[in-house]
Structure 1
Amino acid sequence: WSVAIAPSFGADPRLELSVAPGPGPSEIAKIAFDDQGRMLLAERAAPSGAYDFDVLTTEATGRVLRYLPAPPGTGGPQWQLQPDEY
């Protein structure tokens, strides 16, 4: 979500992005933008809380998602998923 900060704060909430759930509990660890204006979200598994550091996170739950800005005048989220295959 986002809101305007000028001339007044928070008068126009707007949904920017909706991320589909991954294969397990996770959190967005990093947000970056590339030179083409795309947004990259790095998602990792939530920390396990293990004090012995034997297992820090759940395996196979991290992912990287890439989004493009939605075309002007599009209702709803302002970013659209742009999948890619490696």
Structure 2
Amino acid sequence: MDINQEKADEIFRRIDTDGDGEISRVEFLRHLRQAQGLSEESFEFFDRADRSGDDYLSREEYYRLVRKAVLSDDADPTLVALFR
């Protein structure tokens, strides 16, 4: 899967439905449910990405998640679906 900065930013804005510049757990799970469906792993993805533990993904945390989904040889299909 190929994704550039512009596409990553577009997806961030789509997920960040309230426009506050962060992705809340609710926004993340809502988007993932629409893209792929929720699973136990969906919650784990958010928890691993939210390094600050504040229940929000900053842009930096989000970009780390994008790189993991895009650049990893063993990318999880659920994560890949998030970035379509």
Determine if the TM-score, normalized by the shorter chain, exceeds 0.5: no
* Structure holding more helix per residue: 2
TM category, shorter: under 0.3
- Say which structure is richer in strand: 1
Greater relative contact order: 1 or 2 (C-alpha under 8 angstroms, separation 6 or more)? 2
